[in-house]
Copies of this chain bind each other. A is one copy, B any other.
Amino acid sequence: MVKTQLRIIYGDTDQMGVVYYANYLRFFEAARNEWFRAKGARWRESESDYGIYLPVAEAKVNYKRPALYDDLIEVETRLGDLGLASLRFDYRVLRGTDLLALGHTVHACVSHEGNIREFPEELLERLRAGR
């Protein structure tokens, strides 16, 4: 599990005075980038090193408590299901010990042309080790 800290700015909020709901998907992206970095990899290397892409096939968020302007939030990221050609990340957004949101993203493994491909064995090993 990898933790990523993010500071909320005005541009993240809406006129309800809380973080706009779409921005949690931005936080999830920042968090899975850091998950890869913490594993000694970079999200982008999947493209340059292996010629594969990991587009989002599904995203879900459950909103529990609002994040507010100037909050320092923490996103906990875990690798969930890891298939031959897809993977899932699970996220928990916290402010201190308060759970603000839960969610997940599912990513397909595709070639540059957009066809489903199995993960290269080497990447699969790295992902398994990263759990």
A residues at B contact (CB < 8 Å): 7, 9-11, 13-18, 20-23, 25-26, 29-30, 33, 42-44, 53, 55-63, 66, 69-70, 105
Name the prevailing secondary structure of the A interface residues: mixed
| CA A44 to CA B15, docked complex, whole Å | 11
| CA A33 to CA B69, docked complex, whole Å | 11
Q: Within the oligomer, what is the number of copies of this chain?
A: 4
Q: Contact check, A14 vs B16: say whether CB atoms are below 8 A apart.
A: no
A57 — nearest CB in chain B belongs to which residue? B63
A22 — nearest CB in chain B belongs to which residue? B25
A61 — nearest CB in chain B belongs to which residue? B59
Q: A16-B53, A58-B63, A60-B61 are in contact. List 11 more A-B contacts (CB 8 A).
A: A7-B33, A10-B29, A11-B20, A11-B26, A13-B15, A22-B29, A42-B70, A44-B69, A44-B70, A56-B63, A58-B60
| CA A7 to CA B57, docked complex, whole Å | 22
| B residues less than 8 Å from A56 (CB atoms) | 21, 63
**Closest 7 pairs between A and B when the two form their complex, measured CB to CB:** A22-B25, A13-B15, A60-B60, A15-B17, A21-B56, A10-B14, A11-B26
